[in-house]
Structure 1
Amino acid sequence: MSTPQHKIGSGFGHDSTADEVLRGIDLSGKLALVTGGYSGLGLETTRALAKAGAHVVVPARRPAAAEEALAGIDDVEVDELDLADLESVRSFSERFLASGRTIDLQIDNAAVMACPETRVGPGWEAQFATNHLGHFALVNRLWPAIVDGGARVVSVSSSGHRRSDIRWDDLQFAQGYDKWTAYGQAKTANALFAVQLDALGKDAGVRAFTLHPGGILTPLQRHLPREEMVAFGWIDEQGDPLNPGFKTPEQGAATQVWAATSPQLEGEGGVFLDDCEVAELSTDDAPGVRPYAVDPASAARLWTISAELTGVNAFG
């Protein structure tokens, strides 16, 4: 298929940090919204954006924990949001819209990974519901503030998308659950969401991106037993990192911060990024993005299904 998935020569790479990609970028007067912005990569993303001058809104499932984690970072506010609860998404969105503010950049960073089989809402599989449907509903409900701000919306995917395309005939794993396949589907959904959001929003000045942040040991691994991570070669028996390709949180936050702010991406959108660069298509073990995760027809199909499931569609 014809694709814009080609490197642009950004000058950044695997080891670049969030502070480095923000060097020379003044975000004073800008409002950034970062889901999960108080833990792991989200915390480093919040810190870097605030340091560059942005006012950062951090919606959090655990507001007290968020306040504690963010203590000492200036110009940050916390509000309550549980992405697995569409009523919570509605309530947060209504509170934000009532403030009359616009959004300049939104990073949909919050996620769960490889959790035991869990059902939320009307019986939805939790990874698909939280990572994708919750963010889908949030962006659509916040659309007036997003479009008025001419925002960039960044949907954090993962190389984990390689584990599964969208399971069109069994989205909710009614026919048997596998935690890694479910994670793969959710990360593919994150990527496809950005593709379709960009297609729908670009004429109104809203651009969307998706990305793989890299391999990083963060609280995202909370559901994985140590012996599984040892078997993967991620850590040793003492819990110390083994994989030399893993990033620090400062490096892991770089690609999503670059996606949200870089002037190098002006006029671009709907693409998958990796190591602060546009990723190439890949159908084998080489780095890059699987074609099914950036396929426009699949992106439009998933959008329609997601709108039907959540009852929310800013473009309906």
Structure 2
Amino acid sequence: MPSQQSPLRSSFGRTSTASEVIDGIDLQGRVAVVTGGYSGIGLETTRALSRAGATVVVPARDPTKAREALAAIDRVEVAELDLANPSSIGSFTTSFLSRGCPLHLLVNNAATMAVPLERDRRGHELHLATNHLGPFELTVRLWPALLRAGEARVVILSSGAHRRASFDFDDPNFERREYDKWIAYAQSKTASVLFAVALDRRGQTHGIRAFAVHPGRIETGLQRAIPMEELRELGLRDAEGRIPESHRSLYKTVEQGAATTVWCATSYELDGMGGVYCEDVNIAVAVPATHEPLNGVLPWAIDPDAAERLWTFSEKLTGVKLSS
């Protein structure tokens, strides 16, 4: 199937908000799962889907904290889930599937960013485990509920950081090469796009479509592991710890940051489409590897052969496969 990685004449743009994007869309009777949906752009995503009438299940590592953050939002349920812990994923998905309800929207929003070298219980590097293998296993285990919906969408949060690294199939866990937290993060976000490409290929005949999303540059708790001194060295903070005036135009509000996620999850403009990387509330342009501006998706992230290789690799690492 030819790639659909080409911008649309979208009704929205870079400064659109989640509320604007979902205005007029009715999600009454729909069920959504939003990982990390209690903080940052995840919280705004939960709020927007709920306002449109959806029941939103928010899996969280800290359910107490999640319930406090979500107390004022209607039709929200909180459950426990640690994406770096396979047994936790198994417990959550078993409980969800036991309800027998369809899953119309799955938003793989939770992530970790630029943390020191750490490994999950199976020995996988933490960015890879949390940002890709966890969402992969969660999605595959929830496949029966997605099938039950008849038509469903899976949104996978990626990042413009994918431009910094392709996926290293020879040493994904930094067992032989020197660990670099930024390369580890970038590799995991490239994996997120490849995951959407391969998932969409498997889902489209069942009415299940997948999208990868770059939300934009936003100040959220995702950056909490980055020391202020390092942010200054990178030019991301001034001497007073503030975003430099010259950089402020690059940033979005949280409401703007959630817009592309919500658009991919709900917009009629994307009916019949999938397997694409989106940014600024549109399908991003495919750019060459030499592309220097910060927009677009690079070729290694949407390579169908790499996507299939990663799918097989992820099945092997997680031990899960799609049910028929």
Residues 142-157 of structure 1 mapped to structure 2, 5 A cutoff? 142-149=142-149, 150-157=151-158
Structure 2 counterparts to residues 1-316 of structure 1, below 5 A: 3-149=3-149, 150-175=151-176, 176-242=178-244, 243=247, 244-283=249-288, 284-286=291-293, 287-314=295-322
Distance change in 2, residues 1:99/1:315 (3 Å): closer
Q: Which moved more, 1:261-270 or 1:144-153?
A: 144-153
Residue deviations 1:263-293 (CA, integer Å, cap 9, x gap): 0000100001010011011221131000110
Give the Cα separation in 2 of the matches to 1:261 and 1:232: 36
CA distance in 2, matches of 1:153, 1:39: 20
Q: After the TM superposition, which of the residue ranges 143-152 and 1-10 deviates more from structure 2?
A: 1-10
**For structure 1, which segment, 274-283 or 248-257, has the greater mean C-alpha deviation from structure 2 after superposition?**
274-283
CA shift for structure 1 position 231: 2.7
- CA deviation map 1:58-106 (0-9, x unaligned): 0001111111111111110000000000110001000000011111111
Q: Which structure 1 residue ranges, 4+ long, deviate > 6 Å from structure 2?
A: none
Give 1:27 shift: 1.0
1:315 Cα deviation after fit: 5.1
Unaligned runs of 5+ residues in structure 2 are none
Please provide the CA RMSD for this pair.
Answer: 1.3
Q: Alignment identity in percent?
A: 53
Instruction: Look up the SS of the partner of 1:106 in the other structure.
Output: strand
Question: Scaled by the length of structure 1, what TM-score is found?
Answer: 0.97
- Contact 2:144-2:323 within 8 A present in 1 as well: no
The code of the aligned residue for 1:94 comes to T
Deviation at 1:55, TM superposition (A): 0.8
